[in-house]
Amino acid sequence: MKNIKKVAFIGNYLPRQCGIATFTTDLCESFALINPSVQCFAIPITDIEEGYQYPQRVRFEIKEQDIDTYKAAADFLNLNDVDIVCLQHEYGIFGGKAGGYILSLLRNQKMPLITTLHTILKNPNVHQRHVMDELLAISDYVVVMSQKGAEILRSIYKTPQDKVRLIPHGIPDVPFIDPSFYKDQYGVEGKTVLLTFGLLAPNKGIEVVLRSLPDVIKNHPNVVYLVAGVTHPNLLRHEGEKYRLSLQRLADELGVKGHVIFHNKFVSIEELEELIALADIYITPYLEETQITSGTLAYSFGAGNAVISTPFWHAQELLADGMGILVPFRDSDSIAQAITRLIRNEVERHAMRKNAYLLGREMTWNKVAQQYGNLFEEARQKRPSVMQKKISMRPLNEQPLILPDIKLDHFLRMTDSIGIFHHAQHNVPNFAEGYCTDDNSRALILTVLLENLGTINSLRLNNLASRFLGFVRYAWDAKAARFRNFLTFQRKWVEGDFSEDSHGRAVWALGTCMGRSKNEGFSQMAAEIFEQALTPVSSFSSPRAWAFALIGAYEYQQRFPGDRFARNSLEVLATKLMKLYDENSSAEWKWFEPVLSYCNAKIPRALIVSGRCLVNEKMLRSGIDSLNWLTAVQTSSRGHFQPVGSDKIFERGCSKPVFDQQPIEAYSTISACLEAYLTTKDKHWYNEAEKAFHWFLGANDLGIPLYEPANGGCYDGLHVDRVNRNQGAESTIAFLLSLYQMTNITNIIESFKEPILE
C-alpha cells in the first residue's frame, strides 16, 4: 500500500472471549498477512482488572471504565503517526453511558477513521442516539455488513450514502467437505448433527430448539444437537451458569438428554472449522429481529452448512432466495418441521450447502481484508493526516477541574464485619460510639455508585456493599415499621431510637441499591423492605426525611418506571415539599422552613428530580429557585463556598452562623447543583458544584484543606480557627460521594459534548 504505513485496529481482542474480539483479531491478522509492509497494531478494550494475556500485536490497552486511558490512546495514536484507525463499534464494549467514552478518543485523534458498526439500532434511546450521531459525524467512512444496516443509517440517522460502505462479515477460507469427515473425532459418527455455536446467553434461543427435538427424534432417533461455546463472560460474572443449567434441566424434562451435547469451551478457529464442517444442519434460533449481523451465521453459511434460522435482519438477507430456511421466532414446531424437511430431502440439503459455499467465497477474510484496504486508501487520499496537532491553550477558568484519585484507605479502616463505625478519634475508629444506620446507608449508596463508575475492584465493592446492606436490613424493625439508628459496639440497639431522617436515608439507600446495583441479590434483598419502609414516610414531619426518601424513590423509578406505588409515593412527598415551600417562601427567603439547619441542599435536589420525573414545571422551577437562593446564601463575600454553620440554627431575619462548617453541606450542595446542571444544561450550576468541591481542597474561610490525600479521609469540620482533626464516617463519605459526583460529571462531559438528561 503506497500511502499507508501504520494502521491501528480498536476493539476487543483475543484472548478476550466475545464476538467483537474474534472479529477484530481476524480482521487485523488478515489485513497484516496480505499487507506485510504495513505496521498493524491493536488497541483493545479491557473489561477486567487483571487484564488479558494479549499477543504482541497489542500495543496499547484501554481500560473500559477509565476515561483517562481513552484520552491517552488518542495521544498514543497521534504521537506514533498512525495513518488509519479502524474502529469496531458496539455500544456495550466501551465505558460511559451508551459507550460514550470512546468519543473522547475519537475527538482527539488526527487521522482518518473507518468505523465498522456491529450494532445499528432502529429505535435508539437518547444516549445511544447522541453517541451514534457524533460517531457518524467523526467517521470518514462507516462499514455495515448488511443492506438493512445501510438502510437504517440512511432513513433514521440521515447518513450520506457516499459515507456508507457494505463489506460482508469475514469468514475463514475452508474446503468444502463431507460432514462425516470429522464426526468420528467428536464421537458423533453415524449421527445427523444439528449445530449452534457462540457465546451462550438467553437471547440466543437455544431452548426453542430443545423443545423441537422430541418431534424430530420420534422419526429420526440418530439426531444429536451440539451446542458449542462458553457462557458469555458478562453473564457468567453476574449469574454464573444459571442459563446453561436451565437448558440442561429442560433437556432432561423433555427426555432428550441423550441427544444433546454441550461443548462448554471457547473453541479455537481450527476447532471451530471442524465443528462447522461436521454439522449437517446449522441453526440460529435468535429471539429478536433487530440483530444487524451475526458472525456465527456468516461462518456456518460460508463454510457450506444448510442453515435454519429465525428471520433476524442479517438472516433475512443472507438466506434469501432459498439459500436457507427461515422460521418464525420462538416457534419450536416450525423448527422441527424444517429439520425434518432437510433430513428427509437430501438433495435439497446438499444443494443448499453447495450454493451457500459458493456465495461464501466472496466473504473470506482474505477478500474482506482487501476491501478494507481499498477503503483505507480511499480515506487516506480523501483526508490526509494533519501533520501537527493543534495545541489548545485555555485560560484557567476554562480548564477542567483536576480531581484527586478516589482512595478508600480510611473508609476501609473505618469498616469492620458489621458495618462502618460512626465516629473516629483522629483517623482511628472510635469503638465506643458504635455504628449508626445513617452512616451505613450513606456507605451503601457510595459503594453502589462507585461500582457503576467502574474504576475500583468490583469484588471489593460488592463485599463492602453486602455489609452495609446487611446492616440496613438488620436495622429494620418490622413491628415498629421503622429503622433503628444506633448500634453499640457490643451489637445492641439503643432502645426506642427511631429517627425520621435516618429512616429517610435508609429508604434512599435501598432505592439506590435497587435502581443501580449490578448485583441482583442485593436488589432483591433491598426490595424485601423498600415498599414497607417507604410507606410511613408520608406521615413524617421532617422535610429532610421526605427529601431523602424522594431521592430513593426517584432512583428506584429509573429502573422500574412502571411501579405505580413508588410513583404515587414520590408524588405525595413532593407535593408535601411544595406545600411547605409555598407556605414559607418569600422574595427574600426562598426556602421551605423559617430556618436553615443541616443537609439543606438535599431538599431542592429532591424537588428537582421529582419535578423532572413527574414532568411538573412548578416543582422543577421551585427546586431550581430555592437552590439558587441557597447557593447565594452559602457564598462568602470573597466568593468561595461558605456553608451555614452548625453551632446554631440560622433563623430568618438573623445573621448566618458561619462555624462550625460541615462536609455534609458541601456534598449536599454539589449533588444538588449537578442535578440542576444535568436538568438545565446551564454551566452556572457546574460552576457552583465546583466551588463547593473546592471547599474540601482549601478554598474556604481558613484556607485549610479538609481532605486528607494520604488516606482518602476527610476532617469532621471547619472551626473558627482550625479544622476538627477527627475523620468520622459522615465526613469521609461526604467527601468520597462529592468526589464521585465530580468524577462522574467530568466523565459525562467528556463522553458528550454537552451533558444530557439522566
Handedness of CA 644, 648, 652, 655 (dihedral sign): negative
**Integer Cα distance of 513 and 31 in angstroms:** 46
Q: Tell me, what's the pLDDT at 290?
A: 86
Share of the chain above pLDDT 70, in %: 97
Q: Tell me, what's the pLDDT at 401?
A: 66
pLDDT digit string, tens, across residues 610-648 = 999 999 999 999 999 999 999 999 999 999 999 999 888
Task: Using alpha carbons only, give the angle 146, 4, 14 rounded to the nearest 5 degrees.
Answer: 55
- Inter-axis angle of helices 437-453 and 500-516, nearest 10: 20
In a domain, 398, yes or no: no
**Integer Cα distance of 687 and 677 in angstroms:** 9
Using an 8 Å Cβ cutoff, are 195 and 175 in contact?
A: no
**Overall average pLDDT of the 157-167 stretch:** 96
Give the distance from CA 158 to its chain's centroid: 27
In a domain, 756, yes or no: no
**Integer Cα distance of 252 and 715 in angstroms:** 61
**Integer Cα distance of 701 and 658 in angstroms:** 9
- Inter-axis angle of helices 520-534 and 564-584, nearest 10: 50
Does one domain contain both 82 and 195? no
Q: Tell me, what's the pLDDT at 747?
A: 83
In a domain, 393, yes or no: no
**Integer Cα distance of 101 and 95 in angstroms:** 5
Does one domain contain both 571 and 641? yes
In a domain, 130, yes or no: yes
Note down the domain range covering 311: 179-362
pLDDT digit string, tens, across residues 203-230 = 899 999 999 999 999 999 999 999 998 8
Place of cell 462499514: 143
Does one domain contain both 104 and 83? yes
Residue 42 has pLDDT above 70, yes or no: yes
Pinpoint the alpha helices (H) of 535-615: 543-559, 564-584, 602-614
Using an 8 Å Cβ cutoff, are 592 and 581 in contact?
A: yes
pLDDT digit string, tens, across residues 245-258 = 999 999 999 999 99
Over the chain, what is the mean pLDDT? 92
- Where does the pLDDT of residue 272 fall: very low under 50, low under 70, confident under 90, or very high at 90 and above? confident
In a domain, 548, yes or no: yes
Last residue of a domain, one of 348, 382, 416: 382
**Overall average pLDDT of the 674-680 stretch:** 95
Query: Which residues is 724 bridged to in the sheet?
Result: 717
Residues 6+ apart with CB under 8 A from 699: 640, 641, 691
Q: Tell me, what's the pLDDT at 269?
A: 80
Residue 588 has pLDDT above 90, yes or no: yes
In a domain, 395, yes or no: no
The domain that contains 108 carries what CATH number?
3.40.50.2000
Phi-psi region at 99: left, alpha or beta (left = phi > 0; alpha = psi -120 to 50) = left
Does one domain contain both 197 and 284? yes
Does one domain contain both 340 and 421? no
In a domain, 418, yes or no: yes
Query: Which residues is 308 bridged to in the sheet?
Result: 283, 325
Q: Largest Cα–Cα distance of the chain, in whole Å?
A: 95
Does one domain contain both 574 and 502? yes
Q: Tell me, what's the pLDDT at 732?
A: 98
Residues 6+ apart with CB under 8 A from 733: 411, 420, 439, 442, 443, 446
- Where does the pLDDT of residue 452 fall: very low under 50, low under 70, confident under 90, or very high at 90 and above? confident
In a domain, 294, yes or no: yes
Residue 392 has pLDDT above 70, yes or no: no
- Where does the pLDDT of residue 395 fall: very low under 50, low under 70, confident under 90, or very high at 90 and above? low
Q: Tell me, what's the pLDDT at 385?
A: 46
Strand 84-89 and strand 713-714: pairing? unpaired
Q: Find out whether the peptide bond into 15 is cis, omega within 30 degrees of 0.
A: yes
Q: Tell me, what's the pLDDT at 384?
A: 57
Averaging pLDDT over each range in 152-166, 168-182, 737-751, which range is the top one?
Answer: 152-166
Residue 399 has pLDDT above 70, yes or no: no
Residue 602 has pLDDT above 80, yes or no: yes
Does one domain contain both 227 and 371? no
**Integer Cα distance of 638 and 66 in angstroms:** 36
Q: Please give the grid coordinates belonging to residue 202.
A: 438467553
**Integer Cα distance of 380 and 113 in angstroms:** 9
Does one domain contain both 162 and 273? no
Residues 6+ apart with CB under 8 A from 446: 411, 733, 736, 737, 740
**Residue whose C-alpha is closest to residue 228's, from 244, 251, 240, 216:** 244
Does one domain contain both 263 and 371? no
**Overall average pLDDT of the 675-700 stretch:** 95
Q: Tell me, what's the pLDDT at 444?
A: 98
pLDDT digit string, tens, across residues 277-318 = 899 999 999 999 988 889 899 999 998 999 999 999 999 999
Does one domain contain both 460 and 540? yes
**Integer Cα distance of 433 and 419 in angstroms:** 13
pTM (two decimals): 0.72
Q: Tell me, what's the pLDDT at 386?
A: 41
**Overall average pLDDT of the 57-86 stretch:** 92
**Overall average pLDDT of the 704-732 stretch:** 95
Number of structural domains the chain divides into:
3
Using an 8 Å Cβ cutoff, are 410 and 427 in contact?
A: yes
- CA dist 526 to 522, 558, 579, Å? 6, 16, 30
Does one domain contain both 617 and 636? yes
Does one domain contain both 73 and 204? no
The domain that contains 703 carries what CATH number?
1.50.10.10
Residue 195 has pLDDT above 70, yes or no: yes
